Amino acid sequence: MNQMTSRRSGGRAARRASRAAPLDDTLRPVRPGMEGGTLNVLTPAQIEKIHAAALEALDQIGLADAPQSGIDYMTAAGATLGGDGRLRFPRALVEDTLARANRGITLHGRDPAHDLRLSGTRVHYGTAGAAVHMVDIEGKQYRDSTLQDLHDAARIAETLENIHFLQRPMVARDIEDTCEMEVNSVYACCAGTTKHVGTSFSDPAHAREGIRLLHMIAGGEGAWRDRPFVSNSNCFVVPPMKFATESCQVMEACIEGGMPVLLLSAGMAGATAPSTVAGAIVQAVAECLAGLVYVNAVSPGHPAIFGTWPFGLDLRTGAMTGGSGEQALLSAGCAQMHRFYDLPGGAVGGIADSKLPDMQAGWEAMCSNVMAGLSGLNMVYEAAGMHASLLGFCHESLILGDDMIGQALRCVRGIEVDDETLALDQMREVCLGGPGHYLGTAATLGRMQADHVYPSLGDRTSPKEWAENGKPDLVDKARARKEAILATPSAARFNPMLDAEIRKAFKIHLPM
């Protein structure tokens, strides 16, 4: 094949420059909300079996530890409280909930251009997690993550085309008071990006404080409720099959405050969920169905994301692993269950077990990311930046993730087959008395922007050019881009008057 790779010269710089202008949106080869669904790791019969097992688990095992308010809501809806304190869900209740749940929700961005419409197999990629470390590439160190790190992540995400939302990926460990930490996390994210933000609260009172801040950012409660641009990531269960009492109370506060909720069931296959892929999916589905009953019992039709997030475990060590093939299958299988229910859903992709953005990180993150997208997962959480099985977040990886996800999205877009793309006429013209190649055909030139994703930092030079360019290091390039992004003032920041008001009302730890 080598003889075919020698055409690497001639007027390239000029051609590159002429094609570097930003693309009209309709010409972009990939975009948020492309439709997946070509990957089906489960057959229809397998899906039915998982569904039936989940229904049976809800009917016979049920969930313990609901707060009294939740017991009241759910028993009123038709759940039964057993003598063992477990709430059980008859099949009819679950089916009724499924029939009435909100199945086409919008996750708003503060900028409407970033609205995400969750339905069908529309795919979106973004960050998430609760990493406690920042990966410091220069020092090869894992250090405690800070509020500034979180704000910087938001600012970086704002600039990356293929990062469609920013769920808080790490914990601001430099703020001791939990309520202040959570409110400041909302501030730091929203001040950094106009894309949809996901966050998390540990106490209903904190949620109410956070929503008070959001009212100010939005310009009043009405504006907030019209376009809630922050969702709450609710670990509403402690798997296996127990409600997380306090987190449920937070969820009720969020529903009350008009905030979309992510019903997050994060079992670990082999520890808090069955070790088998199928079993872990059954339990996650059962738990999220219980959550869906809960949400709809509190407020019918409230926007909820079906968040089956089963994680893998390295059974040799008992440690979590998110970069495995088993993990990719867990999320791909969950995506199919979401499609089966026709519910907006999310799961994890993109996690690296590797500690640094190296080759392992690349293959781990791509495996689950591309499979999640091909499965038509609406929300691919933790898609970029996550290392050490979620313990560390890395700004450089987030930036490189933009290229990786662009490629995954190209695969999600798939193959168009029509008379033009089948290219029979072109083939005839080229071969029968034509030039014998397709380099200059109108079809080739006309489609070169709309059909092809070009990496931003990924290197496609020849070895010769690469050497001439000084053999640039990929991670160094990402660091340089990070520095350039962070050297530019944030376009998402609040106007100074609003910011002053916010700082009067809340103790904001981020410098002005």
Binding positions for a copy of itself, 372-431, rule CB under 8 A: 374, 388-392, 397, 400, 403-404, 406-411, 414-418, 420-424, 426-428, 430-431
Rounded Cα distance, 290 and 103, in Å: 16
CB-nearer residue toward a copy of itself: 175 or 370: 370
CB-nearer residue toward a copy of itself: 319 or 491: 319
Among 21, 22, 24, 84, binds a copy of itself (CB under 8 A): 84
The answer to whether residues 288 and 281 touch, using CB atoms and an 8 Å cutoff, is no
Among 102, 324, 378, 490, binds a copy of itself (CB under 8 A): 324
Q: How far is the CB of 188 from a copy of itself (least distance, A)?
A: 18
| From 69-77, 201-209, 350-358, 489-497, span contacting a copy of itself (CB under 8 A) | 350-358
CB-nearer residue toward a copy of itself: 257 or 392: 392
Site for a copy of itself in 426-455 (CB under 8 A): 426-428, 430-432, 436-439, 441, 443-445, 447-448, 451-455
* DSSP calls for 68-105: HHHHHHHHHHT-EE-TTS-EE--HHHHHHHHHHS--SE
| From 15-23, 206-214, 252-260, 494-502, span contacting a copy of itself (CB under 8 A) | 15-23
Rounded Cα distance, 227 and 249, in Å: 23
- End-to-end, the C-alpha distance of the chain in Å comes to 57
Length of the chain equals 512
What is the Rg, in whole angstroms, of the alpha carbon atoms belonging to the chain? 24
Rounded Cα distance, 282 and 51, in Å: 7
| From 73-81, 187-195, 247-255, 364-372, span contacting a copy of itself (CB under 8 A) | 364-372
Among 44, 219, 222, 318, binds a copy of itself (CB under 8 A): 318
CB-nearer residue toward a copy of itself: 80 or 106: 80
Name the nearest CA neighbour of 258 among 301, 287, 293, 219: 301
DSSP letter (8 states) at residue 346: E
Among 27, 72, 222, 363, binds a copy of itself (CB under 8 A): 363
| Host H or E run for residue 245 | helix 245-256
Q: Could you tell me the CA-to-CA distances from 158 to 145, 153, 375, 387, 486 in Å, in that order? A: 19, 9, 26, 21, 11
CB-nearer residue toward a copy of itself: 10 or 511: 10
Does the protein bind a copy of itself through residue 42 (CB under 8 A)?
Answer: yes
CB-nearer residue toward a copy of itself: 241 or 502: 241
Rounded Cα distance, 269 and 364, in Å: 18
Name the nearest CA neighbour of 296 among 117, 116, 96: 96
- Total of chain residues touching a copy of itself, rule CB under 8 A: 144
Q: How far is the CB of 214 from a copy of itself (least distance, A)?
A: 24
CB-nearer residue toward a copy of itself: 146 or 296: 146
∠ CA 305-309-314, rounded to 5°: 175
Distance of CA 229 to the CA centre of its chain: 15
Does the protein bind a copy of itself through residue 261 (CB under 8 A)?
Answer: no
CB-nearer residue toward a copy of itself: 257 or 307: 307
Q: How far is the CB of 159 from a copy of itself (least distance, A)?
A: 19
Q: Could you tell me the CA-to-CA distances from 52 to 89, 91, 166, 294 in Å, in that order? A: 13, 9, 34, 20
Does the protein bind a copy of itself through residue 480 (CB under 8 A)?
Answer: no
Site for a copy of itself in 194-233 (CB under 8 A): none
CB-nearer residue toward a copy of itself: 246 or 256: 246
Q: How far is the CB of 24 from a copy of itself (least distance, A)?
A: 17
**How are beta strands 141-144 and 133-136 bridged, if at all?**
antiparallel
Q: Which two tokens stand for residue 232?
A: 């709450």
Does the protein bind a copy of itself through residue 44 (CB under 8 A)?
Answer: no
CB-nearer residue toward a copy of itself: 75 or 441: 441
Q: How far is the CB of 63 from a copy of itself (least distance, A)?
A: 9
CB-nearer residue toward a copy of itself: 144 or 226: 144
Does the protein bind a copy of itself through residue 70 (CB under 8 A)?
Answer: no
Torsion sign (Cα): 147, 151, 267, 400: negative
Q: How far is the CB of 51 from a copy of itself (least distance, A)?
A: 11
Among 326, 485, 494, 508, binds a copy of itself (CB under 8 A): 326
Site for a copy of itself in 102-141 (CB under 8 A): 129-133, 140
Site for a copy of itself in 140-199 (CB under 8 A): 140, 142, 171
Rounded Cα distance, 449 and 458, in Å: 17
Name the nearest CA neighbour of 232 among 252, 212, 218: 252
Rounded Cα distance, 351 and 57, in Å: 29
Q: In DSSP terms, which residues pair with 107 in a beta bridge?
A: 116
Residue type, 233: S
DSSP letter (8 states) at residue 369: H
Among 34, 50, 297, 485, binds a copy of itself (CB under 8 A): 50
DSSP letter (8 states) at residue 58: I
